[in-house]
């Protein structure tokens, strides 16, 4: 899942940090460091969004409860567009969590 900041927001963040405490905005090392940090924040947000998308829905959980494990994996693959191994691993991880067992 792609997470994007608008350029105006990114530019505002870069400018605010570069100007903070009198740091010159034209100092390339500071600007490059800030760009790297913003890039890491975006990558972290994308990973979190991907993990959330891979969580089984209530319908997929219901299939699993009815013993329709293959159907649950197929439904997850169709919804997310992931491979067989990724879908199977996501279902297995969800089933192994105490919160899944408590609510499903």
Tens-digit pLDDT profile for residues 41-99: 777 777 777 767 778 888 888 888 888 999 999 999 999 888 999 888 888 888 787 76
Tell whether 12 and 41 lie within a shared domain. Answer: yes
Q: Which residues span the domain enclosing 27?
A: 7-52
Average pLDDT over every residue of 27-41:
72
Q: Which residue has the higher pLDDT, 35 or 85?
A: 85
Crossing angle, helix 58-65 and helix 69-80, to 10 degrees?
160
| pTM for this entry | 0.51
Same-domain status, 48 and 62: no
Q: Is the dihedral of CA 63, 66, 71, 77 positive or negative?
A: positive
Domain count along the chain:
2
In a domain, 2, yes or no: no
Do 60 and 77 fall into the same domain?
yes
**Whether residue 65 sits in one domain with residue 43:** no
Q: Mark whether 47 and 60 lie in a shared domain.
A: no
Tell me: pLDDT of 21 over 90.
no
| Domain-located, residue 68 | yes
């Amino acid at each position: 899942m792609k997470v994007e900041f608008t350029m105006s927001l990114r530019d505002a963040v870069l400018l605010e940090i570069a100007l903070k405490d009198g740091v010159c905005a034209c100092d390339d090392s500071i600007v490059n460091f800030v760009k790297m940090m913003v890039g890491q924040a975006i990558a972290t947000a994308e990973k979190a969004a991907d993990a959330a998308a891979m969580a089984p829905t209530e319908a997929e959980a219901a299939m699993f409860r009815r013993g329709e494990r293959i159907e649950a994996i197929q439904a997850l693959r169709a919804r997310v567009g992931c491979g067989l191994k990724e879908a199977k691993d996501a279902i297995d991880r969800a089933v192994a969590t105490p919160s899944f067992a408590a609510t499903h």
